[in-house]
Copies of this chain bind each other. A is one copy, B any other.
Amino acid sequence: MIRAQIVGATGYGGVGMVELLIRHPEIRLTSLLAVSDVGKPLSAFYPHLRGYCDQVVEEAKPERVGQDADLVIFSTPDRVGMGYANELVDRGLRILDYSGDFRFETPALYEWYAKAHPNIAGKPHLAPGLFDRSVYGVPELNRSRIREASVVGNPGCFAVAMILSLLPAIKAGLIDPRSIISDGKTGISGAGKKPSATNHFPERNESVTPYRVASHQHVYETVAALEAVAGEKVGITFVPHLVPLTRGIIVTSYATLRQDVSEAEIQAVYEETFAGEPFVRVLPAGSTPGPKAVAGSNLCDVSIAVDAENGRLIMVGSIDNLMKGQAGVALQNINLMFGFPETTALERSPIYP
């Protein structure tokens, strides 16, 4: 039985992990740490968990982090997990981190990201010695390395949808990787639990809002991951939009086709790339994915279409941002890290309507 601790247990990302782990036969939640809402059962803040997880939330004191645990899950902002990582890894613990701290494979890539991220402002990585022992947690890209890693950097929600929908086309050289435009739409839970003027119900309802136009932080890890696949420069113009959903992400991407290739051939490339993947469904030609068909599950649905007149490929990917975009992919990574069947506690079909 693996002992797991969640740091940042009271945000949506932490609670999503709790919802999954209470059904996991091989992992036991030994402690829930947070900086606010401490001293009461988790179910006092999240009444849906009454009777399912009445464990008391403890203050995230530094000395408590990593106690009674084989695995520490950091559901925390950038720069928190990396502050603990060296010591925890030295002690033989393994880490799953939700932030950007361990999503980049080299110091140079992290620096590139850190300079562009407004909250990091170019500060240096705090655990540079771990670049060799950490991996970017997209199982479809890095499955075998995730199995061995001490630290897994869980991917950003938009990045998951972008990478999986672009990957086969990039890998097969079908598109010009500098011509990519990705238009994202996200539900509001992606902004987390903290209320804001932007996401106050009356402001958000009946509203669609582009934000961080061409400057969203998830584009960096996407470009880095796809360049490793492409072996050449990748350029993505990415504009995310807030849409009035609670859960769900859909990204529609556009790129210039490099060759005269039919929709059927591209469809075949996609199906082949993801054959055997437990959580990626390539939809049949003519259909398109959406958050409704993946809600509550760890699935990513992907579709393609060709705009022959303009010589472009249109690729669409959709996930539940709190599952395949956060806690779900995190558990998929954890299952890999500890040698459990990859789908353990993730078997549930989407919930509809």
Contacts and interface: CB of A to CB of B under 8 A. Distances in A.
Contacts of A316: 210
Given A206-B248, A252-B241, A314-B239, A351 B353 contact: no
Interface in A245-262: 245-248, 250, 252, 254
A202 B188 contact: yes
Most buried by B among A250, A290, A296: A290
Interface residues of A, number: 83
A48 B237 contact: no
A349 interface: yes
B314 A237 contact: yes
Report how many copies the assembly holds: 4
A279 to B, nearest CB: 10
Interface in A281-308: 281, 283, 287-288, 290-297, 301, 305-307
Contacts of A288: 209-211, 213
A195 interface: yes
Contact of A208 (B52, B197, B290): B290
A207 B187 CA distance: 10
B47 A293 contact: yes
A132 interface: no
A136 interface: no
Given A209-B290, A237-B314, A348-B23, A202 B46 contact: no
A185 interface: yes
A12 interface: yes
Contacts of A351: 19, 48, 296, 351
Interface string A197-221: 1011111111111110110000000
